[in-house]
Amino acid sequence: MQSAASARHLLEVQRERAERLLNGVRAGVLGLLAIAALAYAPSLTPALNRVNVLVLTPTLAWTVAQYLIFYRRERLPSWLSIANPLVDITAVSAIILGYALAQSAALALKTPIFLSYFVILAARPIASSTARAALVAALAVIQYAVLVQFFVMSGRITTTSPLAAPGGSGVSLLDESAKLLLLALAGAVATYATAWHERLAISYFRQARDREQLEARLARAQLQTLKLQLQPHFLFNTLNTITALIGVDPRVAERMVSGLSELLRLSLRNAAEQEVPLSRELELLEHYVEIQQIRFRDRLTVTLEVAPDTMQALVPNFILQPLVENAIRHGIGPRAAPGHVDVRAYRENGSLHLRVADNGVGARTRRSEPSGEGIGLGNTKARLEHLYGTDHAFSAQGGTDGGFVVDIVIPFRPRAETAGA
């Protein structure tokens, strides 16, 4: 129901645009008719000229008035989409009636102005709802039928055969019945086309909405897969370290198990979220660093330089830990001397900058996965691409003084802004 209502709302917006265009076409057609009336005026009787003036002048005035009164508004009144075709049909009927009263009913019924009914009906599918198209179609048939019946009952026309009617002064009732039938069929076609147009629009809207939802679910599933790919990776590495320490230093191994338990608790708390405040990400990182410092003892120093105004900025969940792990495992681990990892976060020009730098073995000699990036860096690039598209920057390269540096730039979005959205 909600999708159908949304589709109908979009249809109304498009129909309003069509009504604006149609009113321009109406003004142009009426202008041409006025010029034609002026050109034919010398050859017409004064009575017929009065009919043209009495019908064309108010119709053209109404069309121009719409521009002056309504077209500066953002939305047109909804009743215009029914008022305009009713005015147009009534104007056609008025010309036919006026010609009949001023000259002859036979002339009025044979005039090509009758074809204007079909032109009006043809515009209904793009500018009216189904109900309004049906109303306009019914009005056209009823008005013309009433005119024919009035002319017959008042004796203003003489009936003749279909063969004699075109060249004579009479009118064939069979011809008029055929014209009414064609008019009714045209109205039915216009109404059906409008209904089909509505169904097509609603169906397309639903398919587009379903496709968007499917793409969103797929993107979430891909992000979740990438995130879950990281967690067993760091867990496997940590458990390997604990296993190695059990026989050598059980007390240190016990401390690492305790730290790992807290780290897993924090990971599970954030498992369902794709983005978390930086403060929460740093809390998880600190527990991971504690575990690694137990392992490396004095060989590892980690510094956090975080600007206070970035603590509530949203970052991808589990984004810093794999980068720090990558720095420790591939940069600090292979070297015998003590190593340092620096984690920075600051705001600049509406963006959040994250940097993880180490003074390890450097880009050329550091060990990595066969792909050349490893799970940590490759996974991070993929997640950033999914979450931010082109609205981010990522670089991983050797530092100017050795070591390795990873820089990430993402949009700065405070947690409160998302919560209020």
CA distance 177 to 144: 10
CA distance 258 to 273: 25
pTM over the 0.85 mark: no
Tell me the average pLDDT across 239-262: 79
pLDDT tens digits for 231-246? 566 677 677 777 877 8
Are 327 and 404 spatial neighbours (Cβ–Cβ below 8 Å)? Answer: yes
Angle at which helix 278-296 crosses helix 173-246, to 10 degrees, equals 30
Beta-carbon count within 10 A of 44 CB: 16
Are 409 and 352 spatial neighbours (Cβ–Cβ below 8 Å)? Answer: yes
> What is the arrangement of strands in the sheet containing 351-358, beginning at the earlier edge strand?
300-306, 339-348, 351-358, 404-411, 393-398
Structure tokens at 201: 């629009």
Are 276 and 315 spatial neighbours (Cβ–Cβ below 8 Å)? Answer: yes
In the chain, CATH 3.30.565.10 covers 247-419
pLDDT tens digits for 324-358? 988 888 888 888 789 999 999 999 999 999 999 99
Are 99 and 51 spatial neighbours (Cβ–Cβ below 8 Å)? Answer: yes
Structure tokens at 81: 């989409």
Please report the pLDDT score of residue 126 as a whole number: 76
In this predicted structure, which of 102-111, 136-145, 154-163 has the lowest mean pLDDT? 154-163
Would you identify the CATH topology of the domain 247-419?
Heat Shock Protein 90 (3.30.565)
Residue with tokens 């369902």, as numbered in its chain: 272
Structure tokens at 130: 């189904």
Which of 20-34, 194-208, 210-224, 380-394 has the largest mean confidence? 380-394
Are 34 and 60 spatial neighbours (Cβ–Cβ below 8 Å)? Answer: yes
pLDDT tens digits for 33-54? 889 889 988 888 899 899 989 9
As a whole-number percent, the residues of the chain with pLDDT over 70 amount to: 86
